[in-house]
Amino acid sequence: MAIDINEIKRLKDLTGVGLTDAKAALEEASGDFDKALQAMRKKGLTKAEKRSEREARQGVIGSYIHDSRIGVIVEVNCETDFVARNEIFTNLVKDIAMHIAASNPEYVDQSQISPEEKNKVESELKEKAKNEGKPDDMIDRIVNGQITKYFEEKCLVDQPFIKNQDISVGEYIKEHGARLGENIVVRRFCRMALGEIN
């Protein structure tokens, strides 16, 4: 089966793999672009997982201002200055800042949530479940699911990405890490809205 060279180039650009790998993925998927893209993303994400152990100390501080009413500053790190100046990376930083402005996360990831905060939320949810008359043997399971969902909504990397709700911000970052061949980490952010007091 002949694969269209434009499709090969498009897959290469989206995933950051070489032309040969892009062509092989399309051949494996019998020319189905979406299936090939999904397969390449899985491979790329696996490589990105391994890269996540490498230290990321370069990067940029990006910003986004929405309608002069919401402002975001975010630090995104990578491994090399070369990647920090790459257009793909700088666009990623802008997208992350825009997402923070729109979705208002409180934490980068769940490691930033204190045990006290988790215990407080767990107690509140257990109390609520009891008041709603949920069976005692089901409360822990119900509350565990609710806690996970509660904190996923507050953590940047767990939120559905505003430009593509099918993936999380964390997956979007890993895809860029796979394309650029580096570990990419959101270190911290600050969001301000006009008239809000923190």
Residues 121, 150: one domain?
yes
Is residue 45 scored above 70 in pLDDT?
A: no
Which bin fits 161, alpha (ψ -120 to 50), beta or left (φ > 0)? beta
Residues 101, 69: one domain?
yes
In a domain, 162, yes or no: yes
Residues 142, 166: one domain?
no
Q: How confident is the model at residue 24 (pLDDT cuts 50, 70, 90)?
A: confident
Mean pLDDT, range 88-92, rounded to an integer: 95
Tens of pLDDT, residues 114-167? 889 988 988 888 888 888 888 878 888 888 888 888 888 999 999 999 999 999
Tell me how far apart the alpha carbons of residues 13 and 175 are, in angstroms, rounded to a whole number: 12
**pLDDT, mean over the chain:** 85
Residues 138, 67: one domain?
no
Is residue 50 scored above 80 in pLDDT?
A: no
CATH of the domain at 145: 1.10.286
In a domain, 137, yes or no: yes
* Amino acid (1-letter code) at residue 58: Q
In a domain, 198, yes or no: no
Residues 31, 118: one domain?
no
- Extended strands (E) in 98-184: 160-161, 164-168
pLDDT over 90 for what percent of the chain? 41
Q: How confident is the model at residue 51 (pLDDT cuts 50, 70, 90)?
A: low
Residues 98, 80: one domain?
yes
Residues 103, 169: one domain?
yes
- Residue for token digits 């969001």? 191
How many domains does the chain divide into?
A: 3
Q: At what angle do helices 19-28 and 5-15 cross, to 10 degrees?
A: 110
Residues 128, 69: one domain?
no
Determine the 3-state secondary structure of 140 from DSSP.
Answer: helix
In a domain, 86, yes or no: yes
Tell me how far apart the alpha carbons of residues 69 and 192 are, in angstroms, rounded to a whole number: 8
Residues 69, 47: one domain?
no
CATH of the domain at 78: 3.30.479.20
In a domain, 94, yes or no: yes
Residues 45, 62: one domain?
no
Tokens in use for 171? Answer: 């997956």
Mean pLDDT, range 175-194, rounded to an integer: 91
In a domain, 87, yes or no: yes
In contact, 92 and 182? CB cutoff 8 Å: no
pTM of the full structure? 0.69
Residues 39, 125: one domain?
no
Domain that holds residue 148: 114-154
Tell me how far apart the alpha carbons of residues 25 and 32 are, in angstroms, rounded to a whole number: 9
Mean pLDDT, range 15-32, rounded to an integer: 79
In contact, 24 and 31? CB cutoff 8 Å: no
Pick the closest to residue 64 from 117, 36, 26, 102 (CA basis). 102
Residues 176, 146: one domain?
no
